[in-house]
């Protein structure tokens, strides 16, 4: 079977300068974000799981999975960014930008009197909107979340469970972004979006910075295993916010000793891969219906601010078909002996099976060698979501939807 995985090395002329990484991710930012998140009731460090048996089978030094499926009972890392962005927004609104506020202060009647009641709005494929709705509800504010027409009912129900008004847009995720941008101006809502556009970069930056709490945890967990850092990071991407956060912060923190970084996207929504392929330094729209099973990654327009980070810091861009993500879900669900069981959705599992394909498929040997993946490699993956769509989860894991294509004859 001919491989359908496509890959590109970073050839951008700004690669290696890392100006934007240092600007958006100063070394101290993770201590600031983590101090905030620690104040939230229910905060726990999400586990870093060791797939030692699979690593041995693939001839790797280690495979480490940051499992976000239990983050604050929301099944996704997204709440880290949305909650921190709302915190920064509220501080700015009351003129306390340079003051540290704790969670109790944010929910106090005195603080509410200063801010008034706010409606926070966002467009989402599911997880980001759920995180914004959760944070708004915890802080006593309202939320309106726009989803596209292919968003599954379980994801919509999860958003509504935190008091959000959910509106379904007849189009793609990018259409939902456009619509909520217009409606927010009309109804005086405050947008908390993880993608950026002209004149709207501050809040997406805060969201990306909020994700660095996760990296702070990871570094502590690696240290507990006697490791300084991962040698490689595989990170999935939709608009690119998470990938930019992980890769950008590691680059700022470790500079020339940063891990080799690989961005993975669905081939039906490969806006970052396509932008790198055009190689003109600009982000580009990926046309089409974006009909991938990886709902959290079904984005046609890269976030420009995330693209600035990735174009200067990411080492490799990979696009993969849907069956790769489906395989990853099944591997996590049925692990090798002594490896932990992990519940992972489509978007969460794609990096695991991409790594496996690179290590096992002879056609990808040039990529394996380019990335220097070998017995010394300590590879970090992020399970970005748990079972956020039970219907599709069962179809893939139980019923074998999106199987690996086989050669005929």
The Cα 291–Cα 298 span in angstroms is 7
Burial call 316-343: b when 16+ CB within 10 Å, e when fewer: bbbbbbbbbbbbbbbbbbeeeeebeebb
Q: Which residue has the tokens 């990411």?
A: 314
183 is a catalytic site residue: no
Cα angle value 33/39/45 (rounded, 5°):
70
Length of the chain: 409
Residue 287 has φ and ψ, to the nearest 5°, of -75, 165
C-alpha dist (Å) from residue 345 to 29, 84, 94, 351: 29, 24, 39, 11
Residues 6 or more apart whose Cβ sits within 8 Å of residue 146: 121, 122, 123, 124, 129, 166, 167, 168, 169, 176, 177, 179, 180, 183
Residue of 125, 322, 389, 402 marked catalytic: 125
Nearest residue to 316 via CA among 266, 276, 268, 351: 276
3-state helix, strand, coil in the chain (%, to 5): 45, 15, 40
Residue of 20, 49, 78, 268 marked catalytic: 78
- Range list of β-strands (E), 286-360: 316-320
125 is a catalytic site residue: yes
Other beta carbons within 10 Å of 63: 28
Question: 322-333 and 346-360 are packed helices; what angle lies between their axes, rounded to 10 degrees?
Answer: 100
- Range list of β-strands (E), 159-286: 165-169, 190-191, 232-236, 260-266
Q: Annotated catalytic sites, by residue?
A: 78, 125
């Amino acid at each position: 079977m001919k491989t359908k995985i496509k890959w590109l090395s970073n050839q951008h002329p700004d690669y290696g300068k890392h100006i934007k990484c240092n600007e958006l991710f100063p070394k101290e930012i993770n201590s600031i974000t983590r101090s905030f998140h620690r104040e939230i009731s229910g905060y726990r460090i999400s586990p870093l799981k060791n797939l030692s048996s699979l690593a041995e089978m693939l001839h790797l030094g280690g495979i480490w999975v940051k499992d976000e499926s239990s983050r604050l009972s929301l099944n996704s890392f997204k709440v880290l960014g949305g909650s921190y962005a709302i915190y920064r927004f509220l501080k700015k609104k009351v003129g306390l930008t340079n003051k540290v506020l704790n969670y109790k202060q944010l929910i106090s009647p005195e603080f509410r009197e200063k801010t008034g009641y706010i409606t926070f709005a966002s467009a989402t494929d599911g997880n980001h909107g759920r995180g914004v709705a959760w944070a708004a509800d915890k802080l006593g504010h309202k939320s309106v979340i726009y989803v596209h027409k292919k968003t599954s009912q379980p994801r919509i129900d999860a958003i509504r469970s935190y008091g959000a008004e959910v509106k379904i847009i007849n189009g793609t995720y990018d259409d939902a972004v456009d619509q909520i941008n217009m409606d927010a101006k009309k109804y005086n809502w405050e947008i908390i979006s993880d993608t950026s556009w002209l004149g709207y970069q501050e809040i997406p930056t805060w969201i990306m910075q909020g994700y660095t709490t996760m990296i702070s945890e990871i570094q502590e967990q690696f240290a507990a295993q006697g490791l300084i850092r991962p040698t490689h990071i595989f990170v999935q991407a939709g608009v690119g916010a998470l990938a930019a956060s992980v890769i950008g912060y590691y680059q700022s923190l470790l500079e020339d000793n940063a891990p080799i970084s690989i961005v993975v996207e669905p081939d039906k929504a490969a806006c970052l891969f396509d932008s790198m392929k055009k190689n003109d330094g600009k982000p580009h729209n990926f046309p089409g219906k974006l009909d991938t099973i990886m709902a959290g990654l079904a984005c046609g327009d890269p976030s420009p601010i995330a693209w600035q980070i990735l174009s200067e810091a990411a080492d490799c861009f990979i696009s993969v078909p849907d069956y790769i993500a489906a395989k990853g879900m099944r591997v996590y669900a049925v692990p090798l002996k002594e490896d932990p069981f992990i519940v992972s959705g489509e978007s969460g599992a794609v990096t695991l099976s991409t790594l496996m394909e690179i290590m096992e498929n002879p056609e990808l040997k040039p990529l394996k060698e380019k990335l220097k993946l070998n017995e010394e490699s300590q590879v970090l993956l992020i399970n970005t979501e748990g079972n956020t769509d039970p219907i599709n989860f069962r179809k893939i894991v139980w019923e074998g939807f999106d199987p690996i294509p086989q050669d005929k004859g």
